[in-house]
């Protein structure tokens, strides 16, 4: 039995994690649930797990709240696994404290490694704790690497569906609407990550995460467009062999693998057959149209606090687009201009939190200027 705390339990990944735990009551027990601001949904979830402790990030008179409440939940003595699926750098401090407490981290929040991988991964090694990724791409790579040594890896290949605008010329992206961008062809996700998939920023963020998760240089991490979203990512080895993990696009499988790693147990998910997709296709990513992966790659090459600035600016621009306050192509523009305005310093917890604050203010100012 693994006892689980879910940070971000009312979001897309969080609710699916709840479903996975309910499917495996003999193996997974939820002992803590935390949400950002949705107190009603949190209380509804607590009916499923009456013994679970609760926390909210936003102030509340009835539920323990604030960043300290999240930290206390993440470090519960009875917890074995802490699922981190909160948006923004809110999840950074609870993740660090959970690592220092020796918890198994099941990580879905990209910001933790994108903004602070330089801090987080040494802590994981120092505390000898387990960190398993929930992202389908990184889960696929983790699965392909079982039984292999790092020196055998030639490169990592992240697959991308291409999003709703695959094949579109740049000129047609000028007047893209929110409804069009949220219409992902293969995945059902939350609003922010769906827009990141439309701009392809999600692949840029995943490159940075993969660099920290698997200790592979950025130059050996590649992106290939795979519209069917069946092969979730691949590993190329030095002997020329390529291994990939395949399955239907369903986040419950990587969630289950992250929680129960390295076990594989039966579930109720539909199984995939090669006869279901007799043709799988691959295309080169057009970085002249989709600029965001290159911006993310550049931020990681520069290092220090630059990835944090890039990530924060992207989040502000994406949220403004979702609210209808800016245009689709303003997202890479604001990210680029924020990065150009940033003077990176070495990454520490204080400098990352300050950079996140500064970059959000800078991005909001750029968005107001238009």
Q: Is the pLDDT of residue 111 over 90?
A: no
Q: Where are the alpha helices (DSSP H) in the chain?
A: 12-23, 39-48, 67-74, 92-100, 110-126, 136-144, 178-181, 191-199, 201-214, 252-260, 292-302, 306-322, 330-341, 349-369
CATH assignment of the domain containing 352: 1.10.1740.10
Q: Would residue 267 count as lying in a domain?
A: no
Q: Would residue 73 count as lying in a domain?
A: yes
Q: Would residue 353 count as lying in a domain?
A: yes
Cα–Cα distance, 3 to 25 (Å, whole number): 10
Taking Cα atoms as reference points, which of 229, 213, 225 lies closest to residue 153?
Answer: 213
Q: Is the pLDDT of residue 187 over 80?
A: no
Taking residues 147-175, what's their average pLDDT? 95
What is the number of domains present in the chain? 2
Domain-terminating residue out of 87, 105, 133: 133
Per residue in 241-267, pLDDT (tens digit) is 999 999 999 999 999 999 999 999 999
Percent of the chain scoring above 90 in pLDDT: 95
Return all residues near 355 (Cβ < 8 A) that are at least 6 apart: 305, 308, 309, 312, 342, 344, 345
Per residue in 272-305, pLDDT (tens digit) is 999 988 799 999 999 999 999 999 999 999 999 9
Q: Output the pLDDT for position 172.
A: 96
Q: Which domain holds residue 108?
A: 2-133
Domain-terminating residue out of 78, 102, 133: 133
190 falls in which pLDDT band (50, 70, 90)?
Answer: confident
Domain-terminating residue out of 133, 163, 187: 133
Q: Would residue 149 count as lying in a domain?
A: no
319 falls in which pLDDT band (50, 70, 90)?
Answer: very high
> What's this model's pTM, rounded to 2 decimal places?
0.95
Residue 65 DSSP code: B
Q: Would residue 52 count as lying in a domain?
A: yes
Q: Output the pLDDT for position 277.
A: 80
Contact 82, 74 (CB under 8 A): yes
What does the mean pLDDT of the chain come to? Answer: 96
Q: Output the pLDDT for position 364.
A: 98
Per residue in 36-48, pLDDT (tens digit) is 999 999 999 999 9
Q: Is the pLDDT of residue 89 over 90?
A: no
Give, in degrees to the nearest 5, the angle at Cα 59 between 56 and 62: 70
Contacts 24+ apart (CB under 8 A), 21-27: 21/259, 22/48, 23/256, 23/267, 23/268, 24/256, 24/260, 24/265, 24/267, 26/1, 27/1, 27/2, 27/260, 27/265
Contact 163, 185 (CB under 8 A): yes
Quote the distance between the C-alpha of residue 68 and its chain's center: 23
Q: Would residue 211 count as lying in a domain?
A: no
Taking Cα atoms as reference points, which of 313, 292, 308 lies closest to residue 346?
Answer: 308
Taking residues 135-164, what's their average pLDDT? 96
197 falls in which pLDDT band (50, 70, 90)?
Answer: very high
CATH assignment of the domain containing 71: 3.40.50.720
Q: What sign does the dihedral 157-256-45-188 (CA atoms) show?
A: positive
């Amino acid at each position: 039995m693994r006892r689980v705390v879910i940070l971000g339990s009312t979001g897309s990944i969080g609710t699916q994690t709840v479903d996975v735990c309910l499917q495996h009551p003999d193996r997974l027990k939820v002992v803590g649930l935390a949400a950002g601001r949705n107190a009603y949904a949190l209380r509804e979830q607590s009916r499923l797990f009456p013994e679970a402790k609760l926390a909210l990030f936003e102030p509340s008179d009835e539920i323990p709240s604030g960043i300290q409440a999240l930290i206390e939940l993440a470090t519960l003595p009875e917890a074995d696994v802490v699922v981190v699926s909160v948006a923004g750098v809110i999840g950074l401090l609870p993740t660090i404290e959970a690592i220092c407490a020796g918890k198994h981290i099941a990580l879905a929040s990209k910001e933790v490694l994108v903004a602070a991988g330089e801090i987080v991964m040494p802590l994981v090694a120092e505390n000898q704790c387990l960190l398993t990724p929930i992202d389908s791409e990184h889960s696929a790579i983790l699965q392909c690497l079982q039984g292999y040594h790092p020196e055998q890896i030639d490169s990592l290949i992240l697959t991308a569906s291409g999003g709703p605008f695959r094949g579109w010329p740049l000129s047609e992206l000028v007047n893209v609407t929110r409804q069009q961008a949220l219409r992902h062809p293969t995945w059902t996700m939350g609003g922010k990550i769906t827009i990141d998939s439309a701009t392809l920023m999600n692949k840029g963020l995943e490159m940075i995460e993969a660099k920290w998760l698997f200790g592979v240089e950025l130059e050996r991490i590649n992106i290939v467009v795979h519209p069917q979203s069946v092969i979730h990512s691949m590993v190329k080895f030095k002997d020329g062999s390529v291994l990939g993990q395949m399955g239907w696009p369903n986040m419950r499988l990587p969630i289950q693998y992250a929680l129960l790693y390295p076990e594989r147990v039966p579930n109720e998910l539909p199984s995939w057959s090669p006869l279901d997709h007799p043709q799988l296709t691959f295309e080169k990513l057009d970085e002249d149209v989709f600029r965001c992966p290159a911006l993310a790659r550049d931020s990681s090459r520069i290092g220090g606090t630059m990835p944090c600035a890039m990530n924060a600016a992207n989040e502000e621009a994406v949220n403004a687009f979702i609210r209808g306050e800016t245009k689709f192509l303003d997202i890479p523009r604001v990210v680029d201009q924020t990065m150009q305005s940033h003077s990176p310093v070495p990454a520490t917890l204080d400098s990352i939190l300050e950079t996140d604050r500064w970059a959000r203010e800078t991005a909001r100012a750029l968005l107001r200027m238009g």
